[in-house]
Amino acid sequence: MSTSLLSTKLHIPHTRVHAVSRPRLTEKLLAGVKRPGSFVLLSGPAGFGKTTLLSEFAAELQRPVAWVSLDEADNDPIRFWTYLLTACQSIRLEIGESGLALLQTPQPLPEATIPTILINDLVRLGTALVIVLDDYHTIQNQAIHSALAFLLDHLPDTLHLVISTRVDPPWPLARFRARDQLVEIRAADLRFTTDETAVFLNQVMGLNLSAENVAALEARTEGWIASLQLAALSMKGRSDVTGFIEAFTGSHVYVAEYLIEEVLGCQSQAVKTFLMQTSILERLNASLCEAVTGHAESQVLLRDLYQANLFVIPLDDAGQWYRYHQLFADLLKARLQQTLSADAIRTLHQRAATWYEQAEMLPEAIEHALTASNYTHAAQLIEKAAMPMILNAYFRTVEGWLQIIPPEYLNESLRANMAFAWMHLMRRNFTQAAPHLERLQSLFSAANAAELDASLQGEWFALQSMLLGMQGKVAESTDLAERALKILPAQDAQIRSVTYMGLANMYEQMMDYARAAEAMNAIIQNARAVGDLTSEVLGISLLGRMVLQQGGLHSVHETTSQALQRIERAGLFSPFSATLYGELAQVHYHWYQLAEARRYFSRSVELSALGGFSDAEIYHSVFLSRLFQMEGDLQAS
């Protein structure tokens, strides 16, 4: 399964060649990002041109912009911050390295942790950065709101946030205004002026309306850009344009519904059906649309819809992926609900789920299978997807699936119950893990051992080994871990690495250092074979710590230095890097190279504090305090 990021969410949307230039607003945006410690908020209803304006601003800024197009799935804090930090790394790779590493750990992080890392990185690197968060209204998670409020409260002069939303975020905006920290562009600013309306209707849409008709339509729509586009599409080919404008009344919602009916009425039945059926998709490409609708020429149709200004927005330079304007999509969905039966709509979602499964985009497949109420298929997909998602720290997403799917569809699933048990044990939540462990015990007891495949049996042993280790039952934990490793297939690399980590700890507690070293080296080799740098660093740090205790200073210096060089070159910092820095610092401390020791201890304490590794933080802080005492700096000590 692929849990990789969708790159199109980080692309700045295209600006249309003949789009209406809006210098009065772009100049305000440009001035806003030049004010130290300020941020820009674009707040207005759907269809007011916020994204288009930001695209124009990004083009005129003439320097790179970290852009994230948000959607409802980004309410998972891990996903939200992963996208944001990845966007920042498109500007400079060093930004957010340790933050991305921390997001891969199973322990929940304090809300301020990732914003603190971002702030410190920008200050340390001296990098000026503009971050655009588009469609922030899709975020409903209070933890994300609080973390961004913390970031805004501590904005460094080099960071400028530009946020577009339909609804004001739950932040203390009055306080930010009082500090002169907030630059606002609202619906009244975003509305087209009469001059902008004339350019749009006559030059972009080619209607050649009189000044009176332009002014009347601008007054009727109050400059609402989406409704102007809908009106322009409806007026094409009409002889009585003035009569149409005079009859054009109503609230925004009713106007939009009326105009979409008018626009859809001009399309063939095949196009109308295609638009409604594909409205269930957040993003569109030809293959996916063909799978859902059966329309063999979906690529041509998508391109034609885009060229006809029918609210189809390209998401990449190649013209492969598109999305509908949200307002258009919402109303298409409403029309779909009125036109098709619930069973027919569920069939569309099931087709989408099948396509996503074949494309190995399992999280998306699961969402559509759940919407289709095909819980049997969803359970099968969750069996495949849950463990990789958990090992990549997407706990909230997996928990969301667990809450939606009826329990009876997962109760008999060995894979699903093991994945949920792993998730809760990794977070040391024994109470929530208990029901899954009890079900697993019952399922394995009832199963014929000869019929169980090695992968299932081995993972069950590994899971029980982790539980016993946490309970302090070293001998039992070791025995089960060794049994797991004997039967786990090589392709179960992640489970094998997790098992070796626990086994190494058990051997150390038994003071069997030779076998502990074997387990640690197995972690390293296993991780290298599958390109898992996080597990590799853990194995190296475990081995380094043990060798250091045995006096192998030169060996530890060589291995930890090489590992840190690889980490720094790759820009893939792991939370376990803190232990490597600490071990290297201890080597320099024993060699009486105090400046180097202080530098590495400081880095270790910094990473330990951010990652919540209190033992390493305390241990290395004591060494750091001794160094300051030796240097006569009692205040720092």
pLDDT recorded at residue 14: 83
Location of structure tokens 């530890």: 556
Tokens read off for 58: 């990004």
pLDDT recorded at residue 334: 83
pLDDT tens-place string over residues 174-196: 999 999 999 999 888 988 888 98
At residue 598, does pLDDT exceed 60? yes
- From CA 353, how far away is CA 348, in angstroms rounded? 9
pLDDT recorded at residue 576: 59
Distances, alpha carbon 614 to alpha carbons 159, 534, 605, 611, 636, in Å: 30, 19, 9, 8, 20
Is 339 or 532 the better-scoring residue by pLDDT? 339
Query: DSSP letter string over 22-67?
Result: -HHHHHHHHHHTTSTT-EEEEE--TTS-HHHHHHHHHHHH-S--EE
Q: What is the percentage of the chain residues whose pLDDT exceeds 90?
A: 36
Band the pLDDT of 2: cuts 50, 70, 90: very low
- From CA 517, how far away is CA 499, in angstroms rounded? 14
Contact present, 202 and 178 (Cβ < 8 Å): no
> In what helix (H) or strand (E) does residue 235 lie, and over which residues does it extend?
helix 225-235
- pTM, full prediction: 0.62
Location of structure tokens 């994230």: 68
Contact present, 578 and 611 (Cβ < 8 Å): yes
Burial class (CB in 10 A: 0-12, 13-18, 19+), 481: buried
Strand partners, 312: 324
Contact present, 519 and 504 (Cβ < 8 Å): yes
Mean of the pLDDT values across residues 436-456? Answer: 84
Tokens read off for 142: 């209070």
Strand partners, 165: 43
Is 616 strand, coil or helix?
helix
Q: What is the mean pLDDT of the chain?
A: 84
Band the pLDDT of 635: cuts 50, 70, 90: low
Strand pairing category for 322-324 and 182-186: unpaired
- From CA 297, how far away is CA 289, in angstroms rounded? 9
Strands (E), 138-204: 159-165, 182-186
Give the domains, in start order, of the chain with CATH numbers.
7-190 (3.40.50.300), 194-265 (no CATH), 547-637 (1.25.40.10)
Is 164 strand, coil or helix?
strand
Closest CA to 48 of 209, 251, 228: 228
- Nearby residues of 61 by Cβ (< 8 Å), 6 or more positions away: 30, 33, 130
Q: How many residues does the chain have?
A: 637
Is 499 or 187 the better-scoring residue by pLDDT? 499
Band the pLDDT of 373: cuts 50, 70, 90: very high
C-alpha neighbours within 13 Å on the C-beta side of residue 448: 2
Closest CA to 107 of 460, 474, 614: 614
pLDDT tens-place string over residues 389-405: 876 557 778 888 988 98
pLDDT tens-place string over residues 300-331: 999 888 866 577 888 887 778 998 876 678 77
Tokens read off for 337: 């609900």
At residue 255, does pLDDT exceed 60? no
Tokens read off for 10: 């980080």
Contact present, 463 and 475 (Cβ < 8 Å): no
Q: What is the DSSP letter of 373?
A: T
pLDDT recorded at residue 454: 87
User: Phi and psi at residue 183, in whole multiples of 5°?
Assistant: -105, 120
At residue 154, does pLDDT exceed 60? yes
Query: DSSP letter string over 424-443?
Result: HHHTT-HHHHHHHHHHHHHH
Query: DSSP letter string over 446-511?
Result: HS-GGGS-HHHHHHHHHHHHHHHHHTT-HHHHHHHHHHHHHHS-TT-HHHHHHHHHHHHHHHHHTT
Least confident interval from 121-125, 324-328, 337-341, 356-360? 324-328
- From CA 410, how far away is CA 379, in angstroms rounded? 6
Side by side, which strands form the sheet with 129-134?
66-69, 129-134, 159-165, 39-43, 182-186
500 Cα distance to chain centroid = 29
Name the CA radius of gyration of the chain, rounded.
29
Tokens read off for 81: 């911050």
224: number of Cβ within 10 Å? 25
Closest CA to 279 of 227, 343, 325, 342: 325
- Nearby residues of 237 by Cβ (< 8 Å), 6 or more positions away: none
Mean of the pLDDT values across residues 528-543? Answer: 81
